[in-house]
Structure 1
Amino acid sequence: MYFVKVYIKTKMNTKKYYMTSLNNFYNMFWVKTLISVLFLFFASCDVNDVGYSLLLSIQIFRIEYIYSKYSLKYY
């Protein structure tokens, strides 16, 4: 009976851990940045504006990186 209890407890803990790690993954700045970069890149993707949109994306990535580096926790 003891082993069953321990097994169930560990199962619950691992499930909880996976859920929190998933949430952390979604909250990480670079995932959000990647989404915003891709959105920006494809939103302004004319033939002439590809270079400009790429530059803009890089600038936004840098701003987000600096913000996340110096803020205490991820937003």
Structure 2
Amino acid sequence: MARGVRKSIEEKIADKQEVIDALEVRIQKEKEELQILINEQRMARLESLEELIDSSNLSLEEVTEILRQHVDNF
């Protein structure tokens, strides 16, 4: 069975660098998508908190004070 032409060490290095570069681009894209998801999660939590505050008939200042007192008791 005939074998193909062996790659030089320079070609192997270039190939590996190309793979690494592509992976770094992929990692950056994944990090950006992760940040978008984290931001969406944060907004959902804030909206939930806002709904709770609105339904409590308390002002934001009153809720803040209640939470501070609660935290101080721990």
- What TM-score bracket applies, with the shorter chain setting the length? 0.3 to 0.5
Q: Which one has a bigger Cα radius of gyration?
A: 2
TM-score for the superposition, normalised by structure 2: 0.46
